[in-house]
Amino acid sequence: MRIADLLRRKGSTVATITPDTGVDGLVARLAEHNVGALVVVGPAGEVIGIVSERDVVRGLRERGTDLLATRVGDIMTTDVAGCTPEDSVDELSAVMTRRRIRHVPVLVDGVLGGIVSIGDVVKSRMDELEQDREQLESYIVGGRFDTTG
């Protein structure tokens, strides 16, 4: 399965934030959107980073509650792993595992076109396994195998 297929199912809406937003605003946006990460965008809407719950937790450990008065740009990750709609979910899964990341922006011709979380990848794999199970069950019961699925 390709990332484009996954985005067709889940949608391409992406919650974003600017680097000048305060961390207190970040925490509010994470809760408001019920997400674990926000893509950080520059003035022209370009992806310049990603900021996650992990970044907030690390910042709290280092700075305490003073972190809430700092900017997103001070805690965001700037080495952002991106993918394209043409990439496979399996390839993305390997990147997420190797880099120990849970959210990857999808770039379409260099422009933000979606975001994929590890939960999306797991759900996709579970859907594939369920489809395989149904096809095998159909084959065993009915004596035929549907390869169109």
Q: What is the pLDDT of residues 86-122, one digit of tens each?
A: 999 999 999 999 999 999 999 998 899 999 999 999 8
What CATH number corresponds to the domain at position 80? 3.10.580.10
Q: Is residue 25 part of a domain?
A: yes
The pLDDT-based confidence of 147 (bands split at 50, 70, 90) is low
Pick from 82, 17, 81: nearest CA to 51: 17
Q: Is residue 149 part of a domain?
A: no
Structural domain boundaries enclosing 99: 3-142
Q: How many helices (H) and strands (E) does the chain have?
A: 5, 5
Q: Is residue 148 part of a domain?
A: no
H/E element holding 48?
A: strand 47-52
Q: Supply the pTM of this predicted model.
A: 0.83
Q: Is residue 147 part of a domain?
A: no
Residue whose token pair is 């993305």: 92
Q: Is residue 128 part of a domain?
A: yes
Q: Is residue 122 part of a domain?
A: yes
